Amino acid sequence: MGYFNRHCCRIWDVGSGGRIVTERKFGWLGAALFFAAGCVLTFLVFQFSQRMRASASRGQQTNEKVWRFETSFKIPASVVINSPTKEQILSFNIDKPQNFFLPLSVTIKNLTEHPYAMTYEIFAYDPQNQRVDETSDSVSIESKETVLRKVAFSHVMSNGRPYVPFRLNADIEH
């Protein structure tokens, strides 16, 4: 039969020979360190899995369900998006706002019989080609449908300045 003494050691009486065996426990400090190590390990596994999930969703045509399209343009612009099989599937028309304080008008037209869900980002650059602003939007578009969107930048002066180049990135699910 075992019992605890005042030094946190378990003392066992083993058999009829009367031998005593002491077994040390971790104590509160050891338990705290063990708990902290478990928390750190859990955090690292979570971070690694998040990075793997994010990199898998941002791949360029590595996933057969998502197409990635990228192009540069100046406003006003008309951009046609082709599928990997070179079929024209979507067109983006980006109109210049009447003044710098209004959001950009984006018209997206589905040129096919297939519905699409997409997320697109528009980046604004200054004349030195440094990114100065960005905006994004998500939309689902049915076959032969036209969708009108208004997208605004954080910095009002990014909207439609004639010398500012823009970049369109679109992730299209099919």
| Span 20-60, pLDDT tens digits | 555 555 577 777 888 888 877 777 776 766 665 544 333 34
Q: Mean pLDDT throughout 126-152?
A: 90
Residue 158 pLDDT grade (very low, low, confident, very high; cuts 50, 70, 90): low
Burial (Cβ within 10 Å: 0-12, 13-18, ≥19) of residue 114: middle
Is residue 19 predicted with pLDDT exceeding 70? no
Task: Quote the number of domains for the chain.
Answer: 2
User: Do the Cβ atoms of 167 and 75 come closer than 8 Å?
Assistant: no
72 and 53 in a common domain: no
Burial (Cβ within 10 Å: 0-12, 13-18, ≥19) of residue 70: exposed
129 and 84 in a common domain: yes
152 and 70 in a common domain: yes
32 and 113 in a common domain: no
pLDDT at 34: 80
Q: Domain containing 21: what range? A: 2-57
Higher per-residue confidence, 145 vs 65: 145
77 and 50 in a common domain: no
Higher per-residue confidence, 104 vs 120: 120
The candidate with the shortest Cα–Cα distance to 163, out of 131, 126, 132, is 126
- pTM attached to this predicted model: 0.60
